[in-house]
Amino acid sequence: MEDITNRYLSICAEVQQPPSTCVLEVFEDNINSDGSLKLTGNDQLKRGDRLTDDDMLVLSKTLVGNSTIKGLDLRYNNITDQGAVYVAHLIQENKSLQSLDLMCNNIEADGAEVIAKSLHKNKNLKMLRMTGNKIGNKGAMQLAAMLQINSALEEIDVSDCDLATQSVIAFAIVLKNNRRIRAINVSRPLLFSLQEETTVHMAQMLVVNKTLRELHLGKHDMTDTGVERLCEALKLNISLRYLDLRWYTLT
């Protein structure tokens, strides 16, 4: 990976930023055979070093024209909304990236919005993981709206992202017509209603959706009645293979 290392060092010099030792080590040793690049901030071998927004500026510029990297794992770093702008630029310009894992960074609503907009015309990214980023209802609504336009994404994870009832329902409504998504995780939302509106809409979606194979609804405060609604919907569903209902106390 001499070429990518040289480009990285060149970009660092261009923006006058010191190279990250961890990034250089990964470029030299840890690009997997499947083309995935693992730059996770929780790797103890890296002594706890975590990528920042400045690192994302350099990394984005480095990978824009790269056709070798297919997956980018950026879990447990310190990427904020500003770093998300650089991530969005990479999504827009790179034509080979197929999976992007941003789990447990510091991206909020504005960052989710720019990432969502970068995916409107993207044709290659198949998996997006936003787990643990507190994008809230506003950011989640942008991602749900994106699914009405995007024709490539197959997996999306927005669990533990502080989704509210409105955005969970928005995902359910979008999935009534989306024919590409195979797996979605909307676990651990912030729900305060006892009416189980999200469960009702997910059940309605399952009746008509013919392509979704995996659905995660963990910690939705679901009752026996909600589960019954899902069971009735599943009698008419022909595609779902995995349903996650963890963290419930059912009678």
Q: Is 243 helix (H, G, I), strand (E, B) or coil?
A: strand
How confident is the model at residue 249, as a pLDDT?
63
Domains of the chain and CATH, by start: 34-244 (3.80.10.10)
For 79-145, the three-class secondary structure string (H helix, E strand, C coil) is CCHHHHHHHHHHHHHCCCCCEEECCCCCCCHHHHHHHHHHCCCCCCCCEEECCCCCCHHHHHHHHHH
CA 51 from centre of chain: 18
pTM reported for the whole predicted model: 0.94
| Separation CA 141–CA 117 (nearest Å) | 12
**CB contact set of 211 (below 8 Å; sequence gap of 6+):** 178, 179, 180, 181, 182, 239
pLDDT tens string 108-152: 999 999 999 999 999 999 999 999 999 999 999 999 999 999 999
The residue-averaged pLDDT of 13-23 equals: 92
